[in-house]
Every structure is written in structure tokens, then in C-alpha cells.
Amino acid sequence: MNQDSQLSRDAERSDTRPILIIPYMWIGDFVRNHTVVRVLNERWPNRPVDLLTTSLCAPLVDYMPGVRQGIVWDLPRSRLAVGRQLGLAKLLRERNYGTALVLPRTWKAAIAPALAGIPERIGFVGEFRFGLLNRWRCGEKKLPRFIDKNAALARPDGAPLPAEWPVPQLRVPAEDIARWRKANGLSAGATVALAPGSVGVSKRWTYYPEAARLLAERGLEVWVVGGPGEKRLAQEIVAAGGPGVRDLTGTDLRNGVLAMAAAGVAISNDSGLMHIAAALGTPTMGIFGPTSPYLWAPLNGLAATVVQDKSVLSCQPCQSTICKMNDHRCMRDIAAAEVVGIAARVLRARAQ
């Protein structure tokens, strides 16, 4: 390392100004943002890192090492909401941030950091955000993966990407899991958590009810995990699976985090709960159809990536939220018995 590089490195390590991350607010993307936190922690070990968050994602911040605090502020998706932007800017100004990383490429995401006068506002040009950002980056389209686009902003401009990024981490204390099990009347036996929801119906595997029945027949406890939008589906799964299947869907994301932390294995569509389970270190089976595992699977790796391999589908991966051809074969050709067999092997391997 030459002298100039050493001086630059020493300056970074002596910097103590707090950093704000403006992340994507979908649950899975929010979890993956923890890689950005870890890159910043390594580059600037003495600079606190905060995350802007919605009320929905706020529970995740409590389990993210390296994050000082979450700034909870809900902005509507469909309109500018000038009053809310001004209120957020005032709050950010009071926190004296030295740097803001604006991960979303939208114009709206960069407004409050600019109004707050944060000295260094980093992001891709996106929707022509000249003036709102003052450290804008180019070359976004050359970065194939979502994580490459985001984590690159935490590195010096022009720095090459590493061979591997640090993986997202969520850490739940064992005593929290024990209290949660007791409060919900759950045993400490072998359990499988099913996450049947997703954003976009095309990413939803068809056979969760049958899989729940097969798992229960093997003597396994089965939990259905998700938000209020999965309540009807959870009821169908419980009805098919019998008394060994519990509906644990609800409105509090913290409940989903604790369920995934407590489970022996998680079976999930390409969804936020898949990323939560993987970041927790729970063996996770991700079922992929219209989306690409290379682009969207967790960096943490999966116990199994389940895709149909019975035929070559020219439309796969289509990245579409609704199937427009081949009658959803990319998901329908994945049999329940196949998924249950893999889950049983994962549980056996974990018990060894």
C-alpha cells in the first residue's frame, strides 16, 4: 500500500460522522440492505450507520448488527407528500448526518436528504436527480444483480467489486425465541415453516396444502408464516394438513422473524420471508419459477434451490408477476412430494 492510500485509509477510519442509508422498503430488499451496512462498517468502523425504515420493516432493524438505529418514517408510495418530506428533512437535519446513501433510483427518495442539507448524498443518477444528489454514480446498468448496484454505492467511486459481498445477518437472542415459543404454545420438536406468500402471484408455489399434509404425516410440526394477506391461504393449508399445522400469520413482522428463527427448516417462495430465514441462518429452501435464483436468491446461500427440471421452458425466467404463458408450469411442475423429500433430508442433515 502506498503512502497516499494509507493516508486515505487512515482518514476514513478517523471519520465519526453518522451515515444514513435510504433503502428499498420491500421486506426482502430491506434484509439484503444489511450487506450495505456491513460494507460501510468495514470501510468506516467509527461512523454510526442508521437506516430509514417504514413501520412494516422497522422490527428488522432490531436484529441487524452494525445498525445504530432505525428512523421510522412512512412515506406514501403513490404521491410526493410534500409535508411528509419536509418533516423527514427536518428530522434528518437534527441528526447531523455526514453522508446519505440513496439506494432507490427514484427522484422522490432523494428529496429529504437534499432538503436536510446532508453534505454528501450518494446514489445513481436514476431519474435525473442532478442537484438532489451531489455524489452521483454512473454505470448502474452494467451491474447485473440488485446487491451489486446497492453495495457498490458503499465503496469508493470506481472501486472494483469484490469477488464476494458480506452476507446479510439477522441475529435473534435464544431467550427471545424461547419466550415466543412459550407464548404461542409451541413445542421444541422438529418444525417446518411454510411461507406461501409473495409479491406477485406467479411466484407462489401451488402445492403448499399438499406439502403440509405430507409433512404432518411424517410427524413434523408445521407452521404457516406470513402477513394478513396470507390468512386465507393459511386457513386452506391448515385445513389440508390437520391438527399438526398451525396458522402463525399476522400483522407484526417480528412474529415472522421469530418463527423463521425457531424453525428447523423453512420452505418459501421467492419472498421477503425467504431472505429473512436465510439471514437468520435457518436452513432455507427457496422455490423459484418466474424469477432467477442468480439474480434474486439470498447471498447467504440456500439449503436447496428448488426449480422445475422436467422440461425446458422458453419463458423461464420471465420476471413477470402474472403468468402469461405455459399455464404456470414453472411452478406447477414442482411436486409436493419432491419438496417434502428435500425438507426431510435437510432436517436429517441438521440433526447430525
Q: What is the mean pLDDT of each run of 10 residues along the chain (352 residues)?
A: 52 84 96 97 97 97 98 89 95 97 94 97 88 91 91 95 96 96 89 93 92 96 95 96 95 96 96 97 93 89 85 72 73 92 91 75
Judge whether 318 and 346 are in contact, CB under 8 Å.
no
For residues 140 and 294, give the distance between their C-alpha atoms in angstroms, rounded to a whole number: 18
> How many CB atoms neighbour CB 158 within 10 A?
8
**Structural contact between residues 74 and 95, judged by C-beta atoms closer than 8 angstroms:** no
Residues 6+ apart with CB under 8 A from 341: none
DSSP string, 38-71: HHHHHH-TTS-EEEEE-TTTHHHHTT-TT--EEE
Supply the pLDDT for residue 4.
Answer: 47
Nearest to 37 by CA among 26, 25, 52, 21: 21
pTM, rounded to two decimals: 0.93
Domain 3-152 CATH class label: alpha beta
Domain boundaries, the chain: 3-152, 174-351
Q: Which CATH architecture has domain 174-351?
A: 3-Layer(aba) Sandwich (3.40)
Instruction: Tell me the HSE value of 82 on the side-chain side, using a 13 A CA sphere.
Output: 0
Contacts of 1 (CB under 8 A, 6+ apart): 9
Check residue 8 and give its pLDDT.
Answer: 56
* Domains 3-152 and 174-351 agree in fold: yes
348: Cβ contacts below 8 Å, ≥ 6 apart: none
Query: Which residue spans within 147-274 are E strands per DSSP?
Result: 191-195, 221-224, 245-247, 265-269
